[in-house]
């Protein structure tokens, strides 16, 4: 049975866990050859093993997306293995517990968040988009966040600023490269049950309940909820979707009270 991504090659960052691991497995199952990138090589190898167990093909590559030399080498490794690139899935991101308001967030925390969440997208696009152009076009998928669209009384200002930048950059890419057959879109997830969020939020019942009460669907999102949207954007089904910021948040940004 054919898959929705047959013949495509996708580079996925942050592929060692959470949404990145789910995307690696699902994209491979749908026929894509996946370049799975992450800082944690052992964990990303586990993601690749899961993808292969599902009948797909994937390559594990260690890369810190905030380091240009490592991103360049990851792209080169993918091209060497699979010959082309069709999809860039910028999923890697950090959400440190020390990220608060601008008035009490340390500069080192701010710089680290922006380096991974924004510079990482820039570097993957810098080295990946030329390969998409060489392949005749493709899809850039950037993971932003619902917090880029609304204010928050419990702020994570570095993260919020970084995700707002991702949306703005996505729209610029859409205009620049749309005429050349490359569409660029952002996904704005609501709170998702991933290790990144669970590490601090789900350990605090009051904080967890506070956020859950804001979601009309009365549940946190699953990684698959976001990956399903990414699958659409990676596939030819989204051939006229360009410059969008798709909100997948269970309705949290529509909730006035």
Catalytic machinery residues: 159
Name the token pair of 254.
């529509």
CA distance 81 to 77: 6
CA distance 244 to 3: 24
Q: Would you say 11 and 89 are in contact if contact means Cβ atoms under 8 Å apart?
A: yes
In order of 46, 50, 61, the CA distances from 150 in angstroms are 36, 36, 35
Dihedral of the CA atoms 121, 112, 222, 173 (nearest 10)? -20
Tokens 């804001």 found at: 214
DSSP letter at 119?
A: I
Q: Would you say 197 and 191 are in contact if contact means Cβ atoms under 8 Å apart?
A: yes
In order of 52, 87, 127, 140, 194, the CA distances from 68 in angstroms are 29, 19, 9, 18, 27
Name the token pair of 28.
């491979």
11: which strand partners? 35, 88
């Amino acid at each position: 049975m054919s898959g929705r991504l047959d013949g495509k090659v996708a580079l996925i960052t942050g592929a060692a866990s959470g949404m990145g691991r789910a995307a690696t497995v699902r994209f491979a199952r749908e026929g894509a050859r996946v370049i799975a990138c992450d800082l944690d090589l052992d964990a990303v190898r586990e993601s690749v093993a899961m993808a292969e167990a599902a009948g797909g093909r994937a390559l594990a590559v260690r890369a810190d997306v905030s380091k240009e030399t490592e991103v360049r080498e990851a792209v080169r490794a993918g091209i060497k293995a699979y010959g082309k690139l069709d999809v860039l899935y910028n999923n890697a991101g950090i959400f440190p517990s020390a990220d608060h308001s601008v008035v009490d967030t340390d500069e080192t925390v701010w710089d680290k968040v922006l380096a991974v969440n924004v510079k990482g997208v820039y570097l993957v696009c810098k080295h990946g988009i030329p390969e998409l152009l060489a392949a005749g076009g493709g899809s850039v998928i950037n993971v932003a966040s619902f917090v880029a669209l609304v204010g928050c009384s419990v702020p994570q200002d570095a993260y919020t600023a970084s995700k707002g930048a991702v949306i703005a950059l996505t729209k610029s890419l859409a205009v620049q490269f749309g005429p050349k057959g490359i569409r660029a879109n952002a996904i704005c997830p609501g709170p998702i049950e991933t290790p990144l969020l669970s590490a601090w939020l789900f350990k605090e019942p009051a904080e967890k309940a506070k956020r859950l009460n804001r979601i009309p669907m009365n549940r946190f999102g699953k990684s698959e909820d976001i990956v399903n949207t990414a699958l659409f954007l990676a596939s030819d089904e989204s051939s006229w979707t360009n410059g969008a910021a798709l909100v997948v948040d269970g309705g949290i940004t529509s909730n006035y009270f």
